[in-house]
Amino acid sequence: MSNIAPWLEASLSQVQALKKQNKLSHALLVTGADGVGQEELARAIGKNLMCEQFEQAKACGYCHSCQLMVANTHPDYRVLEGEEGAIKVDQIRQLTQKISQKPQVGRNKVVLITHAQAMNVNAANAVLKALEEPAERTYFVLTSSQSSHLLATIRSRCLLVNVPTPNLNQVTEWLQQQPEGDELSSLFWLTSQPYRLLAIEKQQKTALYTALPSALSAMLLGEQTVDQILKGVNNTTLEDYCNGLAAILHQCINHSAGANLPPALTDIYPLLMRRMSIQQMMLRYQSLQKLKSDLLKTNLNPLMQLTYELNQW
């Protein structure tokens, strides 16, 4: 079984201990800052709960349920991912109908709802109803980075499991064990959220981000054209370019106020300072944020808009 990230261990042990004592609440809400691994922890909790050796704290890894979990085909384990958009009431109803039946394999049933803040009001009320009249041996595991956006009546029925935010050393050490860990560690100027970095690697966007600071430096030195910098822009990378450019401006603005400069931005910082005042950087930063939200909801040509933006640098 793969090891869980070190900063998730304490929360997992806490849940495992309650499980072993048969005192675990039937509703859990895993909270924490964005990208720290709530989903990872929730999935580990789900695995533990599905194991047929239910008097043990941890999943055995060998029983039929454990094997089905590894194969991702356990019929009594249901997942709703809220990351892709709103969770609707029909999805919850389908789910609660399924779990009202007896478990098909082991003893327990688990419903995992990630990014639970994505539930609309009707969906949230349907979950609340399910929590109020819990089906036998059914556990709800919810995750959210914005648990204050959840219905208070849902929150109050859940055992809160908080995921702490790891420090940079912990994240660096953990990244060393991941594919492309070195490259990902060089992206701390963009984010130090470990699971956001991992998602970037999974989407094969690491190279896009790592190349950005030096490409922009070359542009500011007149060695590359705006067209060359933006040749990878399309509808699926547009947000990445906006995020990357905004993050570079943000770090440079912070550095001018005394914060440490991430090593990857050593070259671009003096070049930008020569070109723009701090106030202009702030304006460009705001303009990028606006561009990002406009581009997501309108038919503006992304390449044209970003070209215009970079021509202001």
| Least separation in angstroms between CB 49 and Zn ion | 10
Beta bridge partners of 110: 77, 139
In the complex with Zn ion, the residue whose CB is nearer, 64 or 202, is 64
| Binding track over 8-47 against Zn ion, x by CB under 5 A | ----------------------------------------
End-to-end CA distance of the chain: 49
The stretch near Zn ion (CB under 5 A) out of 64-72, 183-191, 218-226, 236-244 is 64-72
| Least separation in angstroms between CB 71 and Zn ion | 13
DSSP 38-84: HHHHHHHHHHHHH-S-TTSSS--S-SHHHHHHHTT--TTEEEEE-TT
Name residues contacting Zn ion, limited to 100-129 (CB under 5 A): none
Q: Do residues 229 and 215 lie in contact, with contact meaning Cβ atoms separated by under 8 Å?
A: yes
User: In angstroms, rounded to a whole number, what is the distance separating the alpha carbons of residues 222 and 236?
Assistant: 28
Kindly state the number of chain residues that form the binding site for Zn ion, as judged by CB under 5 A: 5
Would you call 180 helix, strand, or coil by DSSP? coil
- 66 near Zn ion, judged by CB under 5 A: yes
| Least separation in angstroms between CB 239 and Zn ion | 40
- 310 near Zn ion, judged by CB under 5 A: no
In the complex with Zn ion, the residue whose CB is nearer, 60 or 89, is 60
| Least separation in angstroms between CB 108 and Zn ion | 11
What are the strands, taking DSSP E only, across the chain? Answer: 27-31, 77-81, 109-114, 138-144, 159-162
In the complex with Zn ion, the residue whose CB is nearer, 60 or 283, is 60
CA–CA distance from 22 to each of 54, 137, 217, 248, 280 (Å)?
Answer: 9, 11, 59, 50, 59
Would you call 37 helix, strand, or coil by DSSP? coil
The pair of three-digit structure tokens given for residue 286, joined into one six-digit string:
């705001």
| Least separation in angstroms between CB 246 and Zn ion | 46
In the complex with Zn ion, the residue whose CB is nearer, 57 or 63, is 63
In the complex with Zn ion, the residue whose CB is nearer, 59 or 219, is 59
Name residues contacting Zn ion, limited to 187-226 (CB under 5 A): none
In the complex with Zn ion, the residue whose CB is nearer, 51 or 112, is 51
| Least separation in angstroms between CB 76 and Zn ion | 13
Please count the CA atoms within 13 angstroms of the CA of 262 that sit on its side-chain side.
Answer: 21
| Least separation in angstroms between CB 67 and Zn ion | 8
In the complex with Zn ion, the residue whose CB is nearer, 108 or 114, is 108
Would you call 111 helix, strand, or coil by DSSP? strand
| Binding track over 44-63 against Zn ion, x by CB under 5 A | -------x-------xx--x
| Least separation in angstroms between CB 66 and Zn ion | 3
Residues 35, 184, 72: CA angle, nearest 5 degrees: 55
In the complex with Zn ion, the residue whose CB is nearer, 59 or 184, is 59
Q: Do residues 248 and 240 lie in contact, with contact meaning Cβ atoms separated by under 8 Å?
A: no
Q: Which residues of this chain interact with Zn ion, rule CB under 5 A?
A: 51, 59-60, 63, 66
